[in-house]
Amino acid sequence: MTAQTVRVWAQVHKWTSLVCTLFLLMLCITGLPLIFHDEINGIGGDPASQIKGIPASRDAPELRSLDSILATALAARPGEVPLYMAFYDDRPLMTVTTGARPDVPVSGMKIQQINRLTGEIVADGKAGGRMVTEFLLQLHIDMFLGLKGELFLGVMGLIFFVAIVSGVVLYAPFMRKLDFGTLRTARSRRVKWLDYHNLVGIVALAWMTVVGLTGVINAFVTPITTLWQANELADMTRGYAGRPALPPSRYGSIDVAMATARRAIPGMNPQFIAFPGGSYSSGHHYAVFFQGATPLTENLLTTALVDAETGQLTDARPMPWYFKALSLSRPLHFGDYGGLPLKLLWAVLDLFTIVVLGSGVYLWIARRKGLRDPMGRREDHSVSATSVPRLPVSAQTNASKGISR
């Protein structure tokens, strides 16, 4: 690699890192506690965490009917209409989301938790850790700016990936005269931190790449959903084109619709139901989203569209590849598929990334101040005075909806 090429890559790495550093630091700091969202949510005695028994996603006689669960939720929110019903896979708990109208924005939605064994509404546990995780999640997803915030952080993630690539390109010439893992502790403070920066960065390289790219995918959840609506959903409901939306007064039985969907997609468990008029359904259908029954397939969704008035199946098909990528990126982003050991590993690597971030900022400031060694000479970093390699500085850690994002 020529000296000119190294200088070009050094400039690319420097400016891409500087552009995204502040936001990546925020994402690392907020992402660290979100890795342990389940554990934090249990702080303060969240009643939902104490409910045990048959998973709500199963089809068992001990569980209350979906129609009765919906009636309970609507009785508690008079004048509202149903938007979503979601199931837990590890307990007899489900959530019912309602709003003033089918197309109400997220800010106007109300979520209730209901015990499907007893039919009782479960007290909201937000007084505990859930308030903390919900605040951090919103900051992590969009900085409370909605779609603009999501897209902005997605762009920062793409810039971060360019910083990773340029950092790797620069790492080879930097280590040409040094053994891997060399820490020149006898040299100046800046040289020591440069070695720490590069060593920790290269060790966490694969993790930063994976978490950064999955964060980018999660950041573009709204465009991905819009693409699915315009293509697959439109094709599945082509026979209903031009019809007026079905009013809530004509919605039929949820239990009948679920039975129809289960016959069309056997051997899978329902994850959630989208009611007519929302983002994940048409104006005429219950959209029942099923997930695989194994750890390998539980994040791969298949959709059954059931006519909300007649209970007849309209269509059923797996989600397209780009939606599968979104679904798979969510647990991978937070290490939320391998239990506590994987969460601890994710936390350690997140801390490594914060170290890379902090050392990168220090090296940039020190370079601008023109720090010199005790002999008054500018330090030689084994590449060139204008091409000090700095590996990128943080990993974007993002979710989807309800850490189910």
Structure tokens at 149: 């915030």
Domain assignment present for residue 134? The answer is: no
- Claim to verify: residue 211 and residue 256 sit in the same structural domain: no
- Claim to verify: residue 147 and residue 214 sit in the same structural domain: yes
The pLDDT tens digits of the residues spanning 206-265 come to 999 999 999 999 999 999 999 999 999 999 999 999 899 999 999 999 999 999 999 999
Domain assignment present for residue 45? The answer is: no
- Claim to verify: residue 64 and residue 119 sit in the same structural domain: yes
Over residues 380-394, the mean pLDDT reads 34
pLDDT of residue 370: 65
| Residue 320: pLDDT band with limits 50, 70, 90 | very high
What CA–CA distance (Å, rounded) separates 46 from 2? 60
Domain assignment present for residue 173? The answer is: yes
Cα 385 to chain centroid distance, Å, stands at: 40
The pLDDT tens digits of the residues spanning 225-235 come to 999 999 999 99
> What's the per-residue H, E or C state across 159-219?
HHHHHHHHHHHHHHHHHHHCCCCCCCCCCCHHHHHHHHHHHHHHHCHHHHHHHHHHHHHHH
- Claim to verify: residue 399 and residue 254 sit in the same structural domain: no
Among the ranges given (147-151, 214-218, 355-359), the one the predictor scored with the smallest mean pLDDT: 355-359
What average pLDDT is seen over the chain?
85
- Claim to verify: residue 34 and residue 63 sit in the same structural domain: no
- Claim to verify: residue 205 and residue 348 sit in the same structural domain: yes
- Claim to verify: residue 201 and residue 148 sit in the same structural domain: yes
Q: How many domains does the chain have?
A: 2
In which domain, by residue range, is 167 found?
A: 3-39+143-180+187-218+335-403
pLDDT of residue 126: 58
pLDDT of residue 289: 97
| Residue 312: pLDDT band with limits 50, 70, 90 | very high
Give the C-alpha distances (Å, rounded to integers) separating 218 from 141, 231, 295.
Answer: 8, 20, 20
**Amino acid code (one letter) for 303:** T
| Number of residues that this document lists for the chain | 405
Q: How many degrees, rounded to 5, is the angle at CA 35 between CA 34 and CA 40? A: 60
- Claim to verify: residue 28 and residue 147 sit in the same structural domain: yes
Domain assignment present for residue 164? The answer is: yes
What CA–CA distance (Å, rounded) separates 382 from 405? 44
Q: E-strand spans in 245-355?
A: 269-274, 285-291, 301-307, 313-318
Coil, strand or helix at 336: coil
Query: In the predicted model, is pLDDT for residue 394 greater than 50?
Result: no
More confident residue, 48 or 278: 278
- Claim to verify: residue 339 and residue 380 sit in the same structural domain: yes
Domain assignment present for residue 224? The answer is: no
Domain assignment present for residue 261? The answer is: yes
Domain assignment present for residue 10? The answer is: yes
Domain assignment present for residue 15? The answer is: yes
Please report where in the chains the tokens 């990936």 appear, as a residue. 161
Among the ranges given (248-252, 293-297, 313-317), the one the predictor scored with the smallest mean pLDDT: 293-297
Give the C-alpha distances (Å, rounded to integers) separating 180 from 175, 202, 323.
Answer: 7, 10, 40
Query: In the predicted model, is pLDDT for residue 371 greater than 80?
Result: no
Please report where in the chains the tokens 């609506």 appear, as a residue. 229
Query: In the predicted model, is pLDDT for residue 377 greater than 50?
Result: no
